[in-house]
Structures are given as structure tokens and as C-alpha cells.
Amino acid sequence: MQVQDRLFIGGEWVAPSGTDTFDVVSPATEEVIARVAEPTTVDVDKAVAAARAAFDEGPWPRLPVAERVAAVRRLAALYKPGRGELAKIISSEMGAPISFAKLGHVAIPMFMMNAFAGIAENLEWEERRPGFYGQDILVRKEPVGVVGAIVPWNMPMHLTIGKLIPALLAGCSVVLKPSPETPLDAYWLADLLTRAELPAGLVSILPAGREVGEYLVSHPGVDKISFTGSTAAGRKVAAACGANLKRVGLELGGKSAAVVLDDADPAAMAKGVQVAGLMNSGQACVAQTRVLVPRSRYAEYVDALAAMVAGLPTGDPSDPSTEVGPLVAQRQQDRVRGYIEIGQKEGARLVTGGTDLPAGVDRGWYVRPTLFADVEPSMRIAQEEIFGPVLSVLPYTDEAEAIRIADATEYGLSGSVWTADVERGLGVARRVRSGTFGVNEAYSMDPAAPFGGVKASGIGRELGKEGIEGFLDSKSISVAAGR
Ligand code: NAD
């Protein structure tokens, strides 16, 4: 068992202020794999003070952009050789199948680091505009200050890199709060940060629960909160930031739709929906768990989806052939099984899966990949984020109805359309209200493209140049003409 008795504050490993610890438990074996020192609010104060000093007096925000870019490239180079180890760490702490961990959890953040570095190099940091009254206007992009970054357990490194690197490139300092389920990958990154020789105080990492998160959100020394998590928590974070007029970015929940048009090939569609709906064992904010299927070919598409879901290798996440691993925690297993019961009580048709454990499994927080058909848009399983391997098929009559159903939840994060006719697919993509959408692909979080939600899925954008701009404010300097 790994013991982590130090905290990472201001770029250094220091003794915690308290004596409490928490355990990291393997979702596959239910055994304790690590014991980690629990930070207190005193530690948050220290981390914010270090970040404040790094921002207010340190070199980082004042460095030429090229030097911040070079530091990020150093970090990316240090990250690369450790990828295999990192994939194992993430798979062991939150249960992701190792094949998905290698790609989605580990490789993509590395591409993101290099992509962000390139974007920062090409961003217009200062721009001159002719003023309306004849004066010269200089518009400068300046860092927002100290950032509190809060991430969930489901894609811990991916979401961390999506906040940390743009914030650093912008010139900010960062206090990162990972979830208590996933401290180990965050501490792996902490080690890299020390080796990348960033200035003192710039980054602190305090894995902890909700209370520490709330304290960080309300801390007067923090200028911006960048939050990823559930919509329920996001509402509280937004309210706390509103009270202090603190800047806030919110990446929240989803209940996205995969719209299958009547010309889609059933087998190819089902393969695509596997990724779109069930990646990371269904624990993805962008998961397209409502599959909207035309009544004209309903049985054919349901059969293709049933064959896909029933055939998914489910079990030991360290087995490279596993497609669906355990869920992160027992509470998540209970929650997902609860939704399967709700679906049955609501009258949806259970096509495959259910509440019993997958064959051959006697421990671990597994749920069988499950498919419901004949789901009505008003049912709870069609409205609420389940966050597990459960898909619902909803029939529709024409494209207008498909779009109405796709939009008929409080969320608007992602979605996809499956069709032989890309132009027809683009027509659907343009009409659905969501922040992202894929045509014949599960929406991939491309570092070049802004990512985020509309409606209850969030406020603001990460990734792309918009992701860096989220950590910048525009300052206008007006120089009087002729003086
Ligand atoms: P959660 O909201 O319970 O927790 C997320 C993080 O916020 C954790 O670090 C938690 O400790 C912290 N937290 C919780 N309440 C807080 C509060 N009041 N103040 C400050 N911090 C608080 O969510 P979860 O169950 O860990 O993660 C799953 C959720 O995250 C899902 O709803 C999923 O859709 C969402 N998510 C969204 C995105 C996105 O980019 N839109 C990405 C991944 C996950």
C-alpha cells in the first residue's frame, strides 16, 4: 500500500497541518491501495498565500510568453516517458479499463499540453486598435490571477491538464483540488512539476473532499474558480462566486443524445455509440446515453445496439481486452443500479443487462452494461445523468421530433448524429442546442476546439484558444493622440 504523508504546496512537498488521512480504494478489488494525508483549510490558506505571492510578486506572469511556453514543453517532455505508469495509476484508482486509460486518460492530455503551447505562441497578446476619438488603443490580454481549479474523479488527468496548462500559459498561478478518489495521478503530476522547475509557489495540489473545495471557492485570495463536476455542485459554486463577484467557469453534467438517422448503417452506428455512450464505463460528461432511433427501422437498430451492449467484455480493468470496468465507488454502483430499477418501474423495456453482477465477478463495483428500449422522453432514465454503462433507446417519427427530444432535457453538453449523408448530419448538428456535437463520431475533445456546455451543462469554454482566454482579462490602454 502506498503512503503519501506530505502535501504539495507551492511546488514543495511539506508536512500537512492536520493528522487526518483518507484511503484510496481499488474499485476492482475493494482493497485499500493508498493512504493519503488529508489537507485542512489551513493548508488551503498556505497554498493560496503561495499562489498569491507567485502571482503578485513572482516572475511568472511577467515572463515573455515564449518562456512560459518553454516550461510547458519541458513538462510535456517529462510526461511522455511515464505514460505507461500513469495509465496504471489511473486505472487502479478509478477503475478505467487500461486500454481506455492509455488513450483517453493519458495520451490525450499529452497532446493537449503541446497543442496549448502552440496556441499560446500564436495568440494575439497585445493588439493596437484605432480609437474612435483619434487616440491609440492598446488591448492587452492579462492573466486573471490566482486560479482555484476543481476537478472530478472521472477523467482526472485530462480535466486537470485542460485547466492547469491554459491557466499557466495565461500567466496565472493555480491551486488545484482533485477529488479524494483520484489523488495518485495528481501527485504523479506534482512530481513532474517539481522536475520541470517552475517558479516557487506557482502550483499547489490538494486532493480533498467537498468542504475543502467550498473553502477554496470562497477564499478571498482566489480570483477565478474553474470548476468541473456535477450540475448540483456547480450551482453552489456559481452562487458562492456570485456572492464575491469572483470569475467562474463551470463544466457540468450532461444527458446527451446520439441521433440515428434512417440511412445509418446499424453495425457502424452501434460501434460508434459504444464509444459515444459507454466510454470510461459510461462515466463521461459527454456520454451520449440517449439513442434516438427512427420508428421506420426501430427493431433493426435496437437489435444492433443490443448485440453491441451484450457483447462488451466487462471485468478486470487491467485486462487489455476489457471494455467496461468497475464504477469508481460503491455509492456509484448503488446509484446506477438504482436507475436500472427506476427504468424498469417506469415501464421501459430492459433489453439486456440489469442489476445483477456481470458473470464471473464476485467483488468490485461493477454494473452490467445495460440497454433499455421503448424509453419515453419524460422518464427519469431519459432526463437524469446516470453516469454508468446504461443506454436508453427512444423512438422518433421525423427529424423535427428527434431534435425536439434531443433538446428536451435541462442539459446541453454534447451529442452526435449517425448518417450516410454528412450534409444531413450537419443539418441536425446545427439545430440541436449543445456546446459540442459529432457527425458520425463520438464528440472527441479536440484541443483545438472550444469545449463546454449550454443550459445546465455549464458556463464558459475550455480547450482551444478560448480555453486560454478563459484565464485572461482584456485591459484597454488609451494613448491620447498627438501628446
Ligand atoms: P461532484 O460535483 O460531486 O464533484 C466534483 C468536484 O467538485 C470534486 O472535486 C468535489 O470534491 C468538488 N465539490 C463538490 N461539491 C463542491 C462544492 N460545493 N464546492 C466546491 N467543490 C465541490 O461531481 P463528481 O461526482 O465527482 O463528478 C461527476 C460529475 O462531473 C458528473 O456530473 C459529470 O457530468 C461532471 N463532469 C463534467 C465534465 C465537463 O467537462 N462538463 C467533465 C467531467 C465530469
Q: Say if residue 122 is exposed, middle or buried (CB neighbours under 10 Å; 0-12, 13-18, 19+).
A: exposed
Cβ 378 vs Cβ 403: under 8 Å: no
250 lines ligand 1 (CB under 6 A): no
Q: How many CA atoms lie within 13 A of 455 on its CB side?
A: 16
Evaluate if residue 483 carries a pLDDT over 60. Answer: no
The C-alpha atoms of residue 423 and residue 444 are separated, in whole angstroms, by 19
104 lines ligand 1 (CB under 6 A): no
Please identify which of the residues 181, 251, 399, 462 carries the catalytic annotation: 251
213 lines ligand 1 (CB under 6 A): yes
The C-alpha atoms of residue 100 and residue 457 are separated, in whole angstroms, by 24
Evaluate if residue 259 carries a pLDDT over 60. Answer: yes
Q: How many CA atoms lie within 13 A of 287 on its CB side?
A: 26
Is domain 2-252+457-477 in CATH 3.40.50.150, yes or no?
A: no
Q: What CATH number belongs to 257-446?
A: 3.40.309.10
The C-alpha atoms of residue 252 and residue 109 are separated, in whole angstroms, by 19
Atom 10 (ligand 1): residue with closest C-alpha? 210
The C-alpha atoms of residue 106 and residue 123 are separated, in whole angstroms, by 26
- Cell numbers for 388: 454508468
Q: Say if residue 95 is exposed, middle or buried (CB neighbours under 10 Å; 0-12, 13-18, 19+).
A: buried
Q: What is the mean pLDDT of the chain?
A: 97
Q: Which of 86, 16, 67, 74 is nearest to 46 (CA)?
A: 16
Q: Encode pLDDT of 126-142 as tens digits.
A: 999 999 999 999 999 99
Q: Say if residue 78 is exposed, middle or buried (CB neighbours under 10 Å; 0-12, 13-18, 19+).
A: middle
> Any idea where the domains of the chain sit in the sequence?
2-252+457-477, 257-446
- Helix (H) / strand (E) element for 438: namely strand 438-439
pLDDT at 127: 97
Say if 2-252+457-477 and 257-446 have the same CATH topology.
no
pLDDT at 478: 96
Evaluate if residue 414 carries a pLDDT over 90. Answer: yes
- What pTM does this model have? 0.98
Distance 231 CA to ligand 1 centre (A): 8
Q: Which atom of ligand 1 is nearest to the CA of 236?
A: 18
Using most ligand atoms within 8 A of CB, pick from 176, 179, 206, 248 the residue to mutate for ligand 1. 179
Query: What phi and psi values does residue 362 have, to the nearest 5 degrees?
Result: -125, 0
Q: Indicate if 384 belongs to the active site.
A: no
210 lines ligand 1 (CB under 6 A): yes
Q: What number of other Cβ atoms are within 10 A of residue 62's Cβ?
A: 10
Q: Which atom of ligand 1 is nearest to the CA of 387?
A: 31
Q: Say if residue 129 is exposed, middle or buried (CB neighbours under 10 Å; 0-12, 13-18, 19+).
A: exposed
Q: Encode pLDDT of 332-359 as tens digits.
A: 999 999 999 999 999 999 999 999 999 8
